[in-house]
Amino acid sequence: MNEHPNILFINTDQHSWDAISAYGNPYLNTPNIDLLHQNGTSFTKSYCTDPVCAAARSSWATGLYTSETGVPFNGGQLHTDIPDIGQILRNNGYRAFHCGKWHVPGRNVRDSFEVLYYGNQQIGAGGAAYYDSASTHAVADFLTKYDSNEPFYLQIGYIDPHDVCEYLHNHEEKHIPNPLEQGILTEDDLPPLPENFNYDERETVLHRVCRRIDGALIHDRILQAVKNWDEFHWRYFKWNYYRFIEKVDAEIGRVLSILKQTPFCENTVIIFSADHGEACGSHQLFQKFALYEEEIRVPFIISCLGDGFQIKKNKLDDTHFVSGVDLFPTICDYASIDIPEICQGMSLRPLVEGKDKPWREYAYIESNYWGRSIVTDDYKYITEYKPRNIEDFLPPGPDSERLGLVQLFDRHDDPWETANLVDSPEHQEAINSCRDKLFQQESRLNKQEIVHQNPMRTITNWGNRLREYWTHGK
């Protein structure tokens, strides 16, 4: 293998970890993502840093958690003093290229990458039917014409299956009959309701105010629409989600087919992941934003279509907790670049090469500025910080006095996360242990005050709503 290989990072948007046919999902067919798995290592305990687009992508770009980046939600702004992966690579002998969705607010992608395709304006949340095909064509042109002696890093940001959100928005304006009533599909064509469609309502206040109550902070109009859905609406929602995944899988297949015909195939390491998952009816939720497994667990595959790398092939790694912060140091490792000291992640390269390496014992995830989760082998712990009466705009934690409500799920006996063990006397030790892990992780973070007016305004407005609920329960 060349000391400076080419690196190809393919990412999808809103793609849950198990929505891949190679992992045994019978309701969709993803032959091209399957090909990456067959030629690489899949990490099945892979978690995003934050279940929303901009926040998770800010971690990809920097190797930091979202309370460090300045992007704790979609309206954040990346702190100007934090270098991103494009800048690091370009300063260390690589040509860094970007194609498709970027969505790291506060950082102009053209200042960090050579851009193959990005449109006249920033590619937003929707439009995969147009943008994804255009991205594939731009990548095909690049791979067939690149003739520089410098190694390249290329990241391709596909939008699908995020366009399932546009499907949801269609229901805001009108009632749409279920697919059986329309004569589109039969009941046998539809995937079943998720086993955790019914859920334990003892959720955090943050989650209720953001996602459950009338006037919810996030997508309340969709929330009101789905209250009128029947079983077949929910099942058809998931059916459509799988079709969007199959569409982006076809785009990935075109890229891989072209790569195999180029001289770069043997010397290109391929990384595949997604920014966050999709609820698809689990806990009667849609989209992301929550700290349940469906929204925070994502695919992460390291692969090579040739034999130029020491990569365990067709391997499911269910041992190591992988995080979105690990992408940055993994890229640096393959590029033979020193990993910046502030980076929170660790390189996955030794793991795919079968080497022993000390590793983290849990995953740490943030959500909606105040939400936190710890995932261990045995338990999922979800909690929140209460908003301060006078906001200082420094992301919260560790702070035992401001902790709010707690959810605890047994990952062995209750993998669907339907029975909150918060009131179980025999599980108080587990709750305390997870809280200690939370505080240990947060004590290692390098948080900065948020100073941009847009996120400050969001934090203020959301904080007011949360305090009102804590005070009046509505």
Kindly report, residue by residue over 393-446, the tens digit of the pLDDT.
999 999 999 999 999 999 999 999 999 999 999 999 999 999 999 999 999 999
Mean pLDDT of 218-222: 96
Confidence of residue 173 (pLDDT cuts 50, 70, 90): confident
pTM: 0.97
Confidence of residue 474 (pLDDT cuts 50, 70, 90): low
Q: What is the pLDDT of residue 122?
A: 73
Cα dihedral across residues 56, 58, 64, 67: positive or negative: negative
Tokens 């992966």 sit on residue? 85
Give the CATH number for residue 255.
3.40.720.10
Q: Which domain holds residue 413?
A: 363-472
Q: Where are the beta strands (DSSP E) in 70-204?
A: 95-100, 114-117, 152-157
**What's the CA gap between 57 and 79, in Å, rounded?**
14
Mean pLDDT of 59-68: 98
| 219 in any annotated domain | no
Q: Are 112 and 96 in contact (CB under 8 A)?
A: yes
**Domain match, 41 and 146 both:** yes
**Domain match, 340 and 370 both:** no
**Domain match, 140 and 25 both:** yes
**Domain match, 388 and 309 both:** no
DSSP conformation class of 266: G
**Domain match, 276 and 157 both:** yes
Confidence of residue 126 (pLDDT cuts 50, 70, 90): confident
Tell me the pLDDT tens digit for each residue of 227-278. Answer: 999 999 999 999 999 999 999 999 999 999 999 999 999 999 999 999 999 9
Which contiguous run of DSSP H or E holds residue 382? strand 379-385
Q: Are 159 and 123 in contact (CB under 8 A)?
A: yes
| 183 in any annotated domain | no
**Domain match, 338 and 384 both:** no
**What are the φ and ψ backbone dihedral angles of 310, each rounded to 5 degrees?**
-85, 85
User: What is the separation of C-alpha 316 from the centre of its chain, rounded to a whole number of angstroms?
Assistant: 19
**Domain match, 53 and 139 both:** yes
| 195 in any annotated domain | no
**For residue 13, what are its two tokens?**
């948007």
Output the CA–CA distances (angstroms, integers) from residue 369 to 1, 66, 410, 463, in the order listed: 42, 8, 25, 10
Instruction: Among 300, 319, 352, give the residue marking a domain's end.
Output: 352
Tell me the pLDDT tens digit for each residue of 345-357. Answer: 999 999 999 998 9
| 358 in any annotated domain | no
With CA atoms as reference, report the closest residue to 47 among 274, 244, 223, 224: 274
**For residue 119, what are its two tokens?**
């449109």
Longest CA pairwise span in the chain (Å): 65
**For residue 345, what are its two tokens?**
């992640």
| 212 in any annotated domain | no
Mean pLDDT of 441-452: 96
Mean pLDDT of the chain: 96
With CA atoms as reference, report the closest residue to 178 among 237, 119, 108: 237
**Domain match, 299 and 348 both:** yes
| 343 in any annotated domain | yes
**Partners of residue 364 on adjacent β-strands:** 374
293: burial class by Cβ within 10 Å (0-12, 13-18, 19+)? Answer: buried
**Domain match, 268 and 397 both:** no
Give the CATH number for residue 404.
3.30.1120
Half-sphere exposure of 469 (CA within 13 A, CB side): 22
Q: Which residues contact 93 (CB under 8 A, 6 or more apart)?
A: 4, 150, 151
Number of domains in the chain: 2
Mean pLDDT of 446-454: 95
Confidence of residue 2 (pLDDT cuts 50, 70, 90): low
pLDDT at 164 over 90: yes
Q: What is the pLDDT of residue 300?
A: 98
Q: What is the pLDDT of residue 120?
A: 65
Q: Are 83 and 64 in contact (CB under 8 A)?
A: no
pLDDT at 204 over 70: yes
